Every structure is written in structure tokens, then in C-alpha cells.
Amino acid sequence: MKIQNLILSFAIAISTITVSFAQDGEQLFKTTCAACHTVGKGKLVGPDLKDVQNRHEKSWILKWVKSSQTLVKAGDAQAVKLFSDNNRIPMPDQALTDDQINSILGFIVTKSTESASAKTEATSAASASGNSSQVSVASDSPKAGNLLTIFSFTEYLLMGLLCLLLIVIWVLAKSIKSLSKQLADKISTGTN
């Protein structure tokens, strides 16, 4: 019974951490990035970050976010081009951990996917009705009930694997308990 309670507590903690991680990405984006960037709504001060994961390597993004000007001064071709393309306005250094930046990237990937999905649906609907004005309205409206707004695919995969691991541990614990009881019964009766 203690093992089952421990497993249940662990499962609840992991779920809470995963939900928190996904929500932290959105919150971090809003407090750290949204003043200068959008995801799928065009350029503000800095570039639109929609599909940024397809334009740059993750390791490069981590370096850029932490200190864009270090990359520019080092002559990194991507950094110099990005700096020039954005009116030579330097992105301020961000005191974020790799995990926090990864959380923000997860949010951006999710928002990029939502935006692409909404535009595809809107285009299909407009084509069917012959009304092109429907495209712009539908592409800006969020999909109700879309679970991708809460978790990215990777987070779902990790949660699924963790749940599977917890089930395996629970089954093993029950089996060990049963075997130990059988062994104790054999010892107490004196049979082999």
C-alpha cells in the first residue's frame, strides 16, 4: 500500500510539473518576449518567431537569446544577418536558463503549429464557401479544445512514457509483494 501511494504521489507530481512547464513557456514568453516578438502575427520590434525552430538550430537559439551581441561581434553569419534585417536593434541579453528557453521554444512551436493548422482550416473553409474574407477571421481565432495549447507533442510523449513506467513499477511492486508472501508462507509451513 505504501508503494502504491508513493507511485500515485509521483505520478501527480510529474503531471503537475509537466503542466507547469508548458504553462511556464507561455508565461515566460508573455513576460520576456512578447514586448518585441509575436508568433504568427508579424514583426514587432524583433522578428515574428513563428517556426523559428525551422530557421535556426536549437543550440544557436540558446546562445542568441542569452547574448545576441556576443554572436554578432564574433561574426556569426546568422547573427549578423538577423541583426541587420532588424534595423540593427540589439536584442537584450536574457538571464534565462536553458530549461526556461526550451520551455519558451516549446510554446512557440505549439503556437506555430496552431497558427498553421488554423490557416489551413480557414483556407479550406473559404475555398468551400468561395468567401476569402473568412480566411483572415478564422486564422486569428484559437481552436476551442485544442490540447496542443497546453502541451507540445514532446511533453505528451514524456507524460505517456512516465505513466507507462509508473504502471510497470506498480505491477512489479505487486508481483514482488505476492512472491514475498508466497515465500513467507512456504517458510512458515516448512515446505520447499
Q: Is residue 70 part of a domain?
A: yes
Q: Is residue 188 part of a domain?
A: no
Question: How far apart are the C-alpha atoms of 90 and 57, rounded to whole Å?
Answer: 20
Give the pLDDT of residue 188: 85
Q: Is residue 114 part of a domain?
A: yes
Give the pLDDT of residue 164: 85
The answer to whether the beta carbons of residues 108 and 39 sit under 8 Å apart is yes
Q: Is residue 191 part of a domain?
A: no
Higher pLDDT, 142 or 162: 162
Q: Is residue 97 part of a domain?
A: yes
What single DSSP character describes residue 47? -
What is the band of 144 on the pLDDT scale with cuts at 50, 70, 90? very low
Query: In terms of residues, how long is the chain?
Result: 192
Section 32-58 average pLDDT: 90
53-106 tens-digit pLDDT = 899 999 999 999 999 999 999 999 999 999 999 889 899 999 888 888 888 888
Listed residue (101, 14, 87, 104) closest to 44, CA to CA: 87
Query: Residue 164, SS3?
Result: helix
Residue 124 C-alpha cell reads as 479550406
What is the band of 113 on the pLDDT scale with cuts at 50, 70, 90? confident
Q: Is residue 44 part of a domain?
A: no
Alpha helices, DSSP H, located in the chain: 2-28, 52-55, 58-66, 68-73, 77-85, 98-129, 133-140, 153-189
Average pLDDT, the chain: 77
For the cut 70, the answer to whether the pLDDT of residue 114 exceeds it is yes
The reported pTM is: 0.52
Give the pLDDT of residue 68: 92
Q: Is residue 185 part of a domain?
A: no
The answer to whether the beta carbons of residues 151 and 15 sit under 8 Å apart is no
Give the pLDDT of residue 107: 86
For the cut 60, the answer to whether the pLDDT of residue 140 exceeds it is no
For the cut 90, the answer to whether the pLDDT of residue 131 exceeds it is no
Give the pLDDT of residue 44: 85
Domain that holds residue 77: 2-38+52-178
Burial of 91 (0-12, 13-18, 19+ CB in 10 A): buried
Listed residue (19, 1, 2, 26) closest to 111, CA to CA: 26
Say how many domains are in the chain: 1
Q: Is residue 173 part of a domain?
A: yes
Section 30-47 average pLDDT: 89
What single DSSP character describes residue 144? T
Give the pLDDT of residue 2: 66
Question: How far apart are the C-alpha atoms of 119 and 122, rounded to whole Å?
Answer: 5
For the cut 60, the answer to whether the pLDDT of residue 50 exceeds it is yes
Q: What angle do CA 145, 150, 154 make, to 5 degrees?
A: 120
